[in-house]
Amino acid sequence: MGVATRCLLLELLDVSVSDLLTSGTQGGRPQQGHSMWLVQHCARDILEALAFLHREGYVHADLKPRNILWSADDECFKLIDFGLSFKEGNQDVKYIQTDGYRAPEAELQNSLAQAGVEVEGDSGCTSAVDMWGLGIILLEMFSGMKLKETVRSQKWKENSASIVDHLFASNSVVCPAIPVYHLRDLIKSMLLNNPKQRCSAETALLSPLFSIPFAPHIEDLVLLPTPVLRLLNLIDDSHLHNEEEYEEILEDMKEECQKYGSVVSLLIPKENPGKGQVFVEYANSSDSKEAQRLLTGRTFDGKLVVATFYPLSAYKRDMKSYSDGLTSSRSMSPSSRSSPPAAQINGVLQWLSESPDLYPIERPWCCLKAAIHKSHATNVKNLEQICQEVRNPPNSVPSW
């Protein structure tokens, strides 16, 4: 008989924040940081994990980009590697945290341990070390820069707040239209030298940063896998209005997409949101990833395929919205369709704010409203013109 063995089963996760930071460099040089949506998403997910961990009395003690991974199925960032974790007040690990993400008190404790000096009583590290590590990670994600040498410098030790201010004020990493000051203030509250003055995870979750509805950029939708695939640059308006051609395209797309895994649903909206885009929901994210890899760059009817992922929650909402729209359009009279109510403009605004990459909400609302005002838009047919205006806002914007 074979010897019984114990197996530890771990959840299969995807890309790490370390991978995301690497994707933000070119030729070893840092490029622009990640979108506010991505930074906000990561901050919220990890703060929720830390809030739970700290309530239970535990310290993770090794927050770093490599230990934060994306879950494609749950569409959130998760915290891994609890090898250095300890119960607060009963620290049984001498050396904690990784260089570059190590809090000042952990730096001191590690030095004392290396010198053979025992740490007694309540002088051990607390959950505040986790907040410091997360603060550095978020600053790196925002700036697109690795800060290991920066946090080692004497200038950082003397006045880290001024360096944070400089990174946020730099025109090379921030667009003036993006409301980033809440993130700046949150990071500064995590990087206070006195651990007792640092914000807790639960307090950090109350930051105004998390009330801003940022939208993902197209880069985010390429980097972060989900079970839903979105195919762009495939369908012309003429295909949408010819029912026979439309049904043929649906069948062709289903046949092609099923080569890579089990397809749960497939949608090609005839109207906005998502007009002419192909949405494919797979049974699992691994199939979606394989399809994205193999479909990107291929040609369909002479057109180059662009494949991104798409949030499952947004897809479900869009499916319902599209279904409701079909029902309401069938019941509308010709006169009501030709002269939509003013409320439809508000619906357009809401859709634009919720539609990833079509309208990044980092753009100020006044630019969007100015674009609608300028184009005299009264229905969704003018959305492309609106979006073009939003991407290149006018120099003068009327007050609203």
The string of pLDDT tens digits covering residues 385-394 is: 444 444 443 3
Our count of domains for the chain comes to: 3
What is the per-residue pLDDT for 344? 39
Q: Which residues pair with 70 in a beta bridge?
A: 77
* Whether residue 275 sits in one domain with residue 208: no
pLDDT of 149 over the 70 cut = yes
Point out the residues that are catalytic. 45, 62
Cα(38)–Cα(351) distance, integer angstroms:
20
What is the per-residue pLDDT for 381? 37
Q: What are phi and psi of 291, to 5 degrees?
A: -65, -40
82-138 pLDDT, tens digit per residue, is: 999 999 988 888 889 999 999 999 999 888 888 877 766 556 799 999 999 999 999
- Domain boundary residue, one of 309, 331, 353: 331
What is the per-residue pLDDT for 233? 87
Residue 280, phi-psi category: left (phi > 0), alpha (psi -120 to 50), beta (remainder): beta
Cα(288)–Cα(264) distance, integer angstroms:
11
* Average pLDDT of the segment spanning 292-311: 89
Q: Is residue 2 a part of any domain in this protein?
A: no
What is the per-residue pLDDT for 16? 97
Cα(101)–Cα(87) distance, integer angstroms:
20
Q: Is residue 166 a part of any domain in this protein?
A: yes
* Whether residue 121 sits in one domain with residue 49: yes
275-288 pLDDT, tens digit per residue, is: 889 999 999 999 99
Domain residues for the domain of 210 are: 17-214
How many CB atoms within 10 Å of residue 189? 17
Most confident by average pLDDT, 81-85, 241-245, 296-300, 338-342: 81-85
Q: For the domain that residue 116 is a member of, what is the CATH number? A: 1.10.510.10
Q: Is residue 163 a part of any domain in this protein?
A: yes
* Whether residue 378 sits in one domain with residue 345: yes
More confident residue, 328 or 117: 117
- Domain boundary residue, one of 282, 307, 331: 331
15-70 pLDDT, tens digit per residue, is: 999 999 987 654 444 467 899 999 999 999 999 999 999 999 999 999 999 999 99
- What mean pLDDT value characterizes the chain? 80
* Average pLDDT of the segment spanning 241-259: 91
Q: Which residue shows structure tokens 């919220």?
A: 44
Q: For the domain that residue 272 is a member of, what is the CATH number? A: 3.30.70.330
Q: Is residue 42 a part of any domain in this protein?
A: yes
What's the per-residue H, E or C state across the chain?
A: CCCCCCCCCCCCCCCEHHHHHHHCEECCEECCCCCHHHHHHHHHHHHHHHHHHHHCCEECCCCCHHHEEEECCCCEEEECCCCCCEECCECCCCCCCCCCCCCHHHHHHHHHHHCCCCCCCCCCCCCHHHHHHHHHHHHHHHHCCCCHHHHHCHHHHHHHHHHHHHHHHCCCCCCCCCCCHHHHHHHHHHCCCCCCCCCCHHHHCCCHHHHCCCCCCHHHHHHCCCCEEEEECCCCHHHHHCHHHHHHHHHHHHHHHCCCCCEEEEECCCCCCCCCCEEEEECCHHHHHHHHHHHCCCEECCEECEEEEECHHHHHHHHHHHHHHHHHHHHCCHHHHHCCCCHHHHHHHHHHHHCCCCCCCCCCHHHHHHHHHHHCCCCHHHHHHHHHHHHCCCCCCCCC
* Average pLDDT of the segment spanning 325-334: 47
* Average pLDDT of the segment spanning 354-371: 39
Q: Is residue 8 a part of any domain in this protein?
A: no
Q: Is residue 7 a part of any domain in this protein?
A: no
* Average pLDDT of the segment spanning 240-245: 87
pLDDT of 341 over the 50 cut = no
Q: Which residue shows structure tokens 């605004």?
A: 349
* Whether residue 25 sits in one domain with residue 98: yes
Q: Is residue 198 a part of any domain in this protein?
A: yes
Cα(281)–Cα(257) distance, integer angstroms:
10
pLDDT band at 301 (very low <50, low <70, confident <90, very high): confident
